[in-house]
Chain A
């Protein structure tokens, strides 16, 4: 469980009110990952969405291109919320990292049950997705379009 005050600091949850944050607070967990650890592997089923709390991450796309994150609040593993829920890039820790992990299935359930929360979260996820879209393979873009 993560305090709602902490979750509110992250851009992806900035629009949520305290009551809505409480739902997320119960399902969020802090997790640690070591330098060099592969947090997410491209092509595997997407089960967890991570928010960077501390450290450095490298998001590597299948064609070898990459982007790196150092600022707290960056989201990786958005595929856990978007059909066909399959990771499109690999994420490796450049340093020892502290992350907030959210189960994709629990988050999807919340999004489906609570329209207000769902709309706010999915709007932020679509912003993340739009930034990553140029790096995705045509095959992944097609899958996202078709939802399978």
Chain B
């Protein structure tokens, strides 16, 4: 026995069909995975390469207090007055250790390390409101009570 009859006798056609199916499904699965690469790379670029954004999000998942602060941010751009006050209070405590005038990038870095949520926008609001002021020397201070004018280095 040989040739096609030998193939039939040894279940060759079935084995060949099975082989073709395995290769087909393997390649199809690979194609599906590859088709998701642009989305995965987009997510990576948007989140993982800029840890300043993802770190507070991850931290907020594990901290009840931070989750409370992060929730309104997801709905819109508004801070609750109380939350803003909390973060401001925390920033004041940090600067009490750092001393005045302080370096703003350092303050933001320390605040993020301590897990405060949305430090950048809180600092921005304080600068706009005049609670925190920048000096011509590039260092920042807390405004004295009653003073709300815009400083020269906050353009």
Contact = CB atoms under 8 A, between A and B. Distances in A.
Interface string B95-106: 000000001111
Given A56-B128, A70-B128, A64 B121 contact: no
Interface stretch (B61-69, B83-91, B132-140): B132-140
A64 B155 contact: no
A60 interface: yes
Measured as residues with beta carbon below 8 angstroms from the partner, the interface class of chain A is 20 to 34
A65 B103 CA distance: 6
Given A65-B138, A67-B134, A95-B121, A58 B105 contact: yes
A144 to B, nearest CB: 18
Given A56-B128, A94-B121, A68 B104 contact: yes
Interface stretch (A1-9, A29-37, A80-88, A117-125): A29-37
A37 B53 CA distance: 7
A70 B130 CA distance: 13
A132 to B, nearest CB: 10
Contact of B120 (A61, A66, A70, A94): A94
A70 B103 contact: no
A64 B154 contact: no
- 7 closest A-B pairs (Cβ-Cβ)? A65-B138, A94-B124, A64-B103, A36-B52, A60-B105, A56-B124, A66-B104
